[in-house]
Chains A and B, each alone.
Chain A
Amino acid sequence: MDRSQYLDMFIDESTEHLQAVNDNLLKLENNPNDLSIVNEVFRSAHTLKGMAATMGYDDLASLTHHMENVLDAIRNNKLAPESGILDVVFESVDDLEAMVNDIASGGEGKRDVTEAVRKLEAAESGEKAIEEVSEQSMPAFEASPGSSMAFDNFEETVLRQSYEQGYKAYHLTITLSKDVILKAARVFMVFEILEQIGEVIKTVPSVDQLEEEKFDLSFEVVVVTKDSSEEAIAKVMKVSEVHNVDAKVIDASTTEQQDHDESKTSEIEQAPVVQPTQTKEAVATSSKEEKTTQGGKTIRVNIDRLDSLMNLFEELVIDRGRLEQISKDLDSQELTETVEHMSRISGDLQTIILNMRMVPVEQVFNRFPRMVRGLAKDLSKKVSLEIIGAETELDRTVIDEIGDPLVHLLRNSIDHGVETPEKRRASGKGEEGSITLRAYHSGNHVFIEVSDDGAGINRDKVLQKAITSGVVTEEAGQTLSDRQVYELLFSSGLSTADEISDISGRGVGLDVVKSKIESLGGNVTVDSKPGNGTTFLIQLPLTLSIISVMLVEVQKEIYAVPLSSIIETAIIKKEDIMAAHNQKVIDFRGSVVPLLDLTDFFDVPRTEEDNDYVSIVIVRKGDKMAALVVNSFIGQQEIVLKSLGNYLQSVVAISGATILGNGQVALIVDCNALIK
């Protein structure tokens, strides 16, 4: 089988399934009694196993298989979903993730999973022993002599309850004709019929094996129904290619007898077992509803295709502009109306195309609950993570980049922000610290907030550190406001951890976060209340592919200057230009700003006459400024960013290009490169 064509799909889907497993395991930890969650996890794991096996990733399949066994034990109430057992499952999920990542980066998905498998087996067998004991104590639960069928606690309870409600249980042995062609299909039809008359409680071999046709010609089923055994047999026999059906009544008296014998244990056992069966059904229906509401139809599209769709669409917009011009010139009402209609439609289309690139931040946020759980455990802190606004949408390109900075901030909050349970108790807070991750839209920006209710930032400590590492002088430090001191956290080479821990002592500080976010056209600020916690606020542009610029004319050429770099524009008199050491400068609100003539810098052929006034754009890089001399301002505009392509890499002080309304290309000035 040619795997490559399915590889992308496999990777996408396994990542999704693993994410689902992670999410649901976390939920399970909080509601250990909710068996429907286990079923969800089991389903995801089962699909993953199937996919991995189909693709030939045996290690992946086998580890998932072992994980499935543990999950199976949990959902059959043989195993309690305690923290210890979930840890083992989480660990194996980590392994699975590592394998999928390996596959995604071109590897074979091989990994030594013996340790994980051993742990899973231990977890599973730890309870198996108990199960065996209980089976010994109730030998009479064998459905019929000589049969391989034995019931576990859960099935017993169902049987017992059925009797109480007047149902009868039959043990059917169904034999198919020798020349049966579609065994699995026949099994399916038999089940269809049995489900109509009652409920199938158990099959030998298991349903999975039956579906995979892993049986010879006969299989056994235990069904509870109000029908008589003859009726049941007659109905099953209607399925073609069923050769013979043999029914044995599972003796009610034996079970009742059992009840007496078991009275001591079963009473205790019954209570916890019965409850789940009820809740299980209740939750099962509710989760079904959830499924249907969620289940919007989607299709995966390569982002390159969206890009080319966008490119083509821009062409259309440019033609639209021309048509508008023509219709104005011709002054024909019919034409004008048609063109106006077209403009409206293409406007809507543009919105749709842009929206197609938007993805909910959920995609990134999803991985955090798991991470926070792990980190908190490692640091023996108690932390709860609240996520708000996960549905907030961001451009795909931003989503891909934002994950790492957020991981860093969350780590920072858990490591430095939230105190140990003892400390929290001492300061009169609840033992469990809380971290809130909130995303929301505001204007043309998306804000992401990471806040904790921890100890806050210790101003003196930060300042002390900044002074010893030479970031600020002692004198300057005294005059700084609290906020300015907090901002120092983002300067390079500053970590406030007393000891280097595994979590934050990786040589990367918040400065990396800051530069990453700035490279995305956003910024990050920090605020803190001593004793009450710290909040990091990230501001991001909605999309990286569209930016706001000021279009300026330099002689006859048009350049775009990103608004994010512009402080303001001004027109100054020529005589206000001063010279300082061979460099033209101006006085801009009290500070001396160097002047840079774009005509000279970009070698633009001079066509315009000099006049007495000079138009300037004041741009900044950090706190440094420069004034760019241009000929005139055209205006502010939203533009679609394009790269100059591979052939013209890194042109000096040009960060990219865009296509203007008239179809011409304009270059985008890279202000960061202009200011040294």
Chain B
Amino acid sequence: MTDAILQEVKVIVFQLKDEEYGVEVEQVKSIERVQHITRVPSTPDFVEGVINLRGVVTPIVDLRKRFGIDGIDHSETTRVIIVTVKDMDVGLVVDAANDVIDISRDAVEPTPEVVGGVEADYIRGVAKLEKRLLILLNLDKVLNSKELEEMKDIEK
């Protein structure tokens, strides 16, 4: 890999409430329309359930709930982004997914640390694109199963 390639990352841009987020295109397997989701009992709130993704039972995480943004009902634009993290396929429910863009690594800045600001460790950085701000996610952390484990302990 040359530096030139490393300079740019291709990200899929999606919408949550009124903010734009990005995940690297390599981690995205497909983008699906919402279909019937089967609820799975005794899982954390943000685990919406499981869907049948071409014969494979795939868990679905509601990103709004995961990030503590108040949830809304699914609409026409709601999409499920299927991502692969550590050999697991997980679907992320987002309000809309509409763009694939190249951003240069220079444009990515660490999240500014201010009191009461975003402390979430699942944010890798913020990319400035002219007038848009793109929040780049660290999917490993987003899907950290620590919280799943904690939920389990409560059950017991």
Interface: A665 (CB within 8 A):
yes
Contact A650 B152 (CB under 8 A): yes
In angstroms, how far is the closest chain B Cβ from the Cβ of A217? 55
Interface: A335 (CB within 8 A):
no
The A294-335 residues at the B interface (CB cut-off 8 A) are 308, 310-315
Other-chain residue from B42, B43, B57 in contact with A657 (beta carbon distance below 8 A): B57
Contact B38 A665 (CB under 8 A): yes
The B26-43 residues at the A interface (CB cut-off 8 A) are 35-36, 38-43
Interface: B117 (CB within 8 A):
no
Known A642-B57, A648-B47, A657-B57; judge A665-B52 contact (CB<8 A). Answer: yes
Known A310-B55, A311-B56, A642-B57; judge A604-B38 contact (CB<8 A). Answer: no
* Total A-B residue contacts, Cβ distance less than 8 Å: 86
Q: How far is the CA of A557 from the CA of B55 in the complex (A)?
A: 19
Interface: B106 (CB within 8 A):
no
Q: Which A residues lie within 8 Å of B55 (CB)?
A: 308, 310-315, 659
Interface: A666 (CB within 8 A):
yes
Contact B57 A646 (CB under 8 A): no
Contact A647 B59 (CB under 8 A): yes
Contact A604 B41 (CB under 8 A): yes
Q: How far is the CA of A639 from the CA of B152 in the complex (A)?
A: 28
Q: How far is the CA of A310 from the CA of B86 in the complex (A)?
A: 24
Q: Which B residues lie within 8 Å of A603 (CB)?
A: 41-42
Interface: B88 (CB within 8 A):
yes
Known A647-B59, A648-B47; judge A664-B39 contact (CB<8 A). Answer: no
Interface: B9 (CB within 8 A):
no
Contact B38 A651 (CB under 8 A): no
In angstroms, how far is the closest chain B Cβ from the Cβ of A96? 35
Known A557-B39, A603-B42, A648-B59; judge A663-B52 contact (CB<8 A). Answer: yes
Q: How far is the CA of A313 from the CA of B57 in the complex (A)?
A: 15
Interface: B155 (CB within 8 A):
yes
**B50, closest chain A residue (CB):** A665
Interface: A428 (CB within 8 A):
no
Q: How far is the CA of A642 from the CA of B55 in the complex (A)?
A: 9
Q: Which B residues lie within 8 Å of A664 (CB)?
A: 36, 38, 52
Q: Which B residues lie within 8 Å of A646 (CB)?
A: 86-88
Mask of B105-144 contacts with A, CB within 8 angstroms, 1/0: 0000000000000000000000000000000000000010
Q: How far is the CA of A647 from the CA of B40 in the complex (A)?
A: 12
Other-chain residue from B36, B56, B58 in contact with A663 (beta carbon distance below 8 A): B36
**B35, closest chain A residue (CB):** A663
Q: How far is the CA of A644 from the CA of B148 in the complex (A)?
A: 14
Q: Which B residues lie within 8 Å of A644 (CB)?
A: 40, 50, 57, 59
Q: Which A residues lie within 8 Å of B86 (CB)?
A: 646
Q: Which A residues lie within 8 Å of B43 (CB)?
A: 648, 651
List 16 additional A-B contacts (Cβ < 8 Å) besides A314-B55, A603-B42, A659-B52.
Answer: A308-B55, A311-B54, A313-B55, A557-B38, A557-B39, A647-B88, A648-B43, A648-B59, A652-B152, A657-B57, A664-B36, A664-B52, A665-B38, A665-B50, A666-B38, A667-B41
Report B's interface with A, CB cutoff 8 A.
35-36, 38-43, 47, 49-52, 54-59, 86-90, 143, 145, 148, 152, 155
Report A's interface with B, CB cutoff 8 A.
308, 310-315, 557, 601-604, 642-648, 650-654, 657, 659, 663-667
Listed A/B pairs (21) with beta-carbon separation below 8 Å:
A312-B54, A313-B55, A557-B38, A601-B41, A603-B42, A642-B56, A644-B40, A645-B59, A647-B59, A651-B42, A651-B43, A652-B42, A653-B41, A653-B42, A663-B36, A664-B36, A664-B38, A664-B52, A665-B52, A666-B38, A667-B50
What are the 3 closest A-B residue pairs judged by CB atoms, nearest first? A311-B55, A602-B41, A665-B38
